[in-house]
Structure 1
Amino acid sequence: MTALQWIPYVWDEPHPATSQEIAQLEHRLGATFPKTYKEVAAQYQGMTPHPAVFNVGNGTNVINVLLTIIEDTEWRTYSIMRAYEAVKPHVPKEIYPFASTPGGEYLCFDYRESPEEPRIILVTVEMFISPVADSFTDFMTHLHDGQTVRP
């Protein structure tokens, strides 16, 4: 497995989020993010992981960017709140975006079955839901470069 690297996307340099900013977002959404996600988002919000390919259904997709915790007015398009506002009317409650794909789809936490350890799902532009991973940690562990044989 290739070591994960993070590449600037929204901003030219890393733009860490504070624990207070994360807590404020959790309060606004009424959700508590997984600890591993909070650690990653605190360091890498607005960045792209490499490798960035993940398995979904019988194929693969790619993370475009880890959505931002903060709502930078210039880059609001990449914020979790803006993404949440876009998907909220179309998906069941307790689904919260955390990353986007190049095709405008969202990787989301799905808290419907477990408030402590949400599953990871993909919400397509048509608002179809596909399972991706059992947890954020599992999801991050299985990112690959597209050349990896599917498990």
Structure 2
Amino acid sequence: MAIRWKPYLRDESHPIDADRLQPVEQAWGVRLPDAYKQLVCCYQGMAPEPCVFDVDGAEDVFNDLLTITPIEGRESYSVMRVHEVLAPHLPPGIFPFGRTPGGEYLCFDFRDAPDSPRVVLVTSDLSIYPVANSFQEFLEGLHDG
């Protein structure tokens, strides 16, 4: 099923150049998945449709793609800001890319596969649940509720 991206943080898309991702990769010491880089450059701050994903025998919702370039007054949606808040409480190698409506975070987990991170859900109590073996698998698994 094709994913459509709809406005969430802004009224329209706010594309960025791929070189805006280099400072994020350098700060985190990782190479982000190409599929993610292509999406976030076009759809940062937007919401996917379909948006439901399976996790731990239940369903949750991918609410929005965090931003690479912070939006004034909405810095809490920035990947760098979210990482700054989460990092002291999580094992090294986990980096956020999306949010759920309940304030949980979809993250890349580079701990076991530095070249091909898994996708995990970090809950509000900082538990970590596996979601998909890759970003591409995660996207392919999105469905209607």
TM-score of the superposed pair, with normalisation by structure 1? 0.93
Q: Aligned residue pairs: how many?
A: 145
- Write the deviation string for residues 116-136 of structure 1: whole angstroms up to 9, x where unpaired: 100000000000000000000
For residues 106 and 85 of structure 2, the distance between their equivalents in structure 1, rounded to whole angstroms, comes to 13
For residues 71 and 93 of structure 1, the distance between their equivalents in structure 2, rounded to whole angstroms, comes to 23
Q: State which drifts further: 19-28 or 96-105.
A: 19-28
Match of 2:66 in 1: 67
Match of 2:142 in 1: 143
What letter matches 2:54 in structure 1? Answer: N
State how 1:1-150 maps to structure 2 within 5 Å.
2-146=1-145
For residues 85 and 127 of structure 1, the distance between their equivalents in structure 2, rounded to whole angstroms, comes to 14
For residues 85 and 37 of structure 1, the distance between their equivalents in structure 2, rounded to whole angstroms, comes to 20
1:3 to partner: Cα distance: 2.2
- Write the deviation string for residues 12-51 of structure 1: whole angstroms up to 9, x where unpaired: 1100121111112211222210011101111111000000
Q: Any stretches of 5+ residues in structure 2 without a counterpart?
A: none
1:74 to partner: Cα distance: 2.4
* 3-state SS, counterpart of residue 99 of structure 1: strand
1:145 to partner: Cα distance: 0.3
Q: Identity across aligned pairs (percent)?
A: 46
1:106 to partner: Cα distance: 0.3
TM-score of the superposed pair, with normalisation by structure 2? 0.97
1:83 to partner: Cα distance: 0.9
What letter matches 1:88 in structure 2? Answer: A
* 3-state SS, counterpart of residue 73 of structure 2: helix
What RMSD over aligned residues (CA atoms) do the two structures have, in Å? 0.9
